[in-house]
Amino acid sequence: MTAERQRLFVAVDPAPHAVADLSALVADLHVAKAKARLAAPERWHITVAFLGDVAVEQIDGVTSVLAAVASGSAAVPLRIVGGGSFNRGPGTVLWAGLGGDVDALAALARRVRRELRRVRVRSDRKPYRPHLTIARPGDRIARDLVKADVATLAAYQGPEWTASELRLMRSHLGPTPHHEPLASFPLTTPACPHRTA
């Protein structure tokens, strides 16, 4: 008998005001006007670690790891900046990039992945490239329109926000894909104060 498994990832979410600002830009993109497989704004997130299919009996270990990492980590100031496209599977993916303390976010991702390995939970080993997926238009719109959307995203500078918690999410695939939050873990360590002479 096969053990039950859940498709999991660890993420930080952009703040509502950052989502609203980017949504206004995305609404004017060609991919939005063509309704070319847009990612719903409520599903926008920045993946910290993609775990894939995890056995249910391992989830307690995952939550313990995330609680420990989060309690020893500071909140991270970020903003959505720029964007681009890449090919994944059958077609093009449009994404928005990140600015702010991206180095701290990358360090947090490394800690999460390292500690998950200690409890024998695998995560994506690809180089860390934080972003928000905007759309997966594939070949549904002309290339020159995709290029115009990429140029619009590349010039974008969104408002600042602070990523203050890690979230363990379950991904449901199928005709109505959605993400289910399983647990949240506040980033509670204060940032290092600036020293004064």
Residues paired with residue 125 on neighbouring β-strands, in sequence order? none
Residue 85 has which token pair? 């496209």
User: What global pTM score does this model have?
Assistant: 0.87
* Tens of pLDDT, residues 83-140: 998 875 556 889 999 999 999 999 999 999 999 999 999 988 888 999 999 998 877 8
Q: What angle do CA 93, 126, 15 make, to 5 degrees?
A: 60
The CA dihedral of 18, 24, 25, 29, to the nearest 10 degrees, is 140
Residue type, 46: I
Instruction: Give the number of other CB atoms < 10 A from CB of residue 21.
Output: 19
The pLDDT confidence band at residue 182, using thresholds 50, 70 and 90, is: very high
Q: How wide is the angle at C-alpha 40 spanned by C-alphas 109 and 67, nearest 5°? A: 30
Helix (H, G, I), strand (E, B) or coil at 131: coil
In sequence order, the 6+-apart residues with CB closer than 8 A to the CB of 24 are none
Quote the strand ranges of 2-156, DSSP E: 5-12, 46-55, 76-88, 91-100, 132-135
**Domain ranges in the chain?**
7-186
Q: Which CATH number fits domain 7-186: 3.40.640.10, 3.90.1140.10, 3.30.1130.10, 3.40.920.10?
A: 3.90.1140.10
